């Protein structure tokens, strides 16, 4: 790794493991949660009729939401360490030419995507909290 280090590179020790799959992990959780909510809701209402109360569905959606948020949190904790260790030099540009910098960059993007995905998961769950039936 040292061979690739640019001359003005700052010494860091944040590792090098984050790849593109890790970056899209949280949005994938969002997508699965979203699909689950929609498909579950659609089948539930189609099979039970339009007058059916949403009580059971609500519980399922809440469980799915908590599960999705937990998965996102797991990813966040992992990425947070990268962020914490690289805060020392206040560098958010990620413009150096090393594998480690690429790792920090992807970790930052992944971390921010965790936040966005969590917000989006919560958004999607909100309608279930105040609608009462399938109408």
Partner 1 sequence: MIYKSAEERQLAKVWEPPKGWRYFSDVNNSTIGVWYISTAFAFMLFGGALALLIRLQLAVPENTLLSANLYNQVFTLHGTVMMFLFAVPIFEAVAILILPAMLGARDLPFPRLSSFGYWCFLIGGVFVCGSIFFDSAPDAGWFMYPPLSTEQSGIGADIWLLGLSFIEVASIAAAVELIVGVLKCRAPGMHINLTPLYGWYVLIVGAMILFAFPPLIAGDYLFELERAFDWPFFDVSRGGDPLLWQHLFWIFGHPEVYIIFLPAIALLAMIVPTFTQRPIAGYSWIVLSALGTGFLSFGLWVHHMFTTGLPAISLGFFSAASEAVAIPTGIQIFVFIATVMMGNVVRSVPMLFCLGALATFIVGGLTGVMIAVAPFDFQVHDTHFIVAHLHYTLIGGMLFPVMAGVQYYYPFVTAKVLSWRLGIWSFWLMFGGFNIGFLPMHFTGMLGMPRRVFTYDADRGWDLLNMVSTIGAFIFAAGFLVMVWDCVRPKGRDKDATRNVWNAGTLEWAGRVPADNWGMRSIPQINSRYPLWDDKTLLETIDQGRGLLPSAEEGKRETLVTSVLDAKPLQILRVAGPSWLPMISAFGLGAVFIFATWKLWWLTLAGGIVFLVAVLWWLWTGTAVIPEKPTKDVGDGRQMPLYVAGVRSTGWWAMFITMTGDLTAYLSLLFGYFFFWTVHEEFPPAHIEGPGWQWPAVAALLTLLTWALTLGARLINARGRPGLAQVLLALGLVAAAASGLALMAGPWTNGLDPTEHTYPAIVWALVVWIVLHLAAGMIMQAYCIARSRFRKLTPEHDADLWNVTLYWHFTGFCGLLTALVIGGFPLVQ
Question: Rounded to the nearest whole angstrom, what is the least distance from the CB of residue 46 to partner 1 in the complex?
Answer: 5
Residue 57 burial by CB count (10 A; 0-12/13-18/19+): exposed, middle or buried? buried
Question: Rounded to the nearest whole angstrom, what is the least distance from the CB of residue 70 to partner 1 in the complex?
Answer: 19
Nearer to partner 1, 20 or 62 (CB): 20
Nearer to partner 1, 34 or 80 (CB): 34
Q: Which stretches of the chain bind partner 1, using CB under 8 A? A: 4, 6, 19-20, 23-24, 27-28, 30-31, 34, 37-38, 41-43, 45-47, 50, 54, 57, 92-95, 97-99, 101-102, 105-106, 108-109, 112-113, 116-117, 119-120, 123-128, 131, 134-135
Q: Show Cβ contacts of residue 52 under 8 Å, excluding neighbours closer than 6 positions.
A: 44, 45, 133, 134
Nearer to partner 1, 70 or 119 (CB): 119
CA distance 110 to 62: 25
Specify whether the CB–CB gap between 100 and 12 falls below 8 A. yes
Residue among 92, 114, 116 at smallest CA distance from 104: 92
CA distance 21 to 128: 30
Nearer to partner 1, 13 or 132 (CB): 132
């Amino acid at each position: 790794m040292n061979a690739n280090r640019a001359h003005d590179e700052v010494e860091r020790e944040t590792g090098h493991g984050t790849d593109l799959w890790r970056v899209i992990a949280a949005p994938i959780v969002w997508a699965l949660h979203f699909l689950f909510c929609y498909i579950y809701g659609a089948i539930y209402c189609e099979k039970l009729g339009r007058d059916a109360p949403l009580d059971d569905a609500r519980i399922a959606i809440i469980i799915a939401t908590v599960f999705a948020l937990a998965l996102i949190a797991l990813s966040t904790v992992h990425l947070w360490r990268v962020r914490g260790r690289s805060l020392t030099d206040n560098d958010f540009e990620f413009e150096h030419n090393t594998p480690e910098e690429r790792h920090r960059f992807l970790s930052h993007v992944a971390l921010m995507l965790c936040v966005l995905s969590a917000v989006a998961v919560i958004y999607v769950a909100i309608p279930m909290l105040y609608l009462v039936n399938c109408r």
